[in-house]
Amino acid sequence: IDLPAIGPRTVRRAADAGCAGIAIGAGHTLVIDAPQTVAAADAAGLFLIGVEVAP
């Protein structure tokens, strides 16, 4: 299985791109090093939310 993934690098790139936050498919996306990813989002002032993905 090849699931999409995000991590601290994704958060840094989103912040550099001027994004307000990151929405991911809940239960369909791997969060690499979740504590660091959340901390990076908090430090960058970005939201990070899981959304239900329709089948």
* Mean of per-residue pLDDT scores for the chain: 94
The pTM for the full model equals 0.86
Res 6 pLDDT > 90: yes
Rounded Cα distance, 48 and 12, in Å: 12
Instruction: Measure CA of the first residue to CA of the last residue in the chain; give whole Å.
Output: 17
Share of the chain above pLDDT 90, in %: 85
pLDDT tens digits, residue range 38-48? 999 999 999 99
Secondary element (H or E) of residue 9: helix 8-16
What is the SS3 assignment for 29?
Answer: coil
Res 2 pLDDT > 80: no
Res 1 pLDDT > 70: no
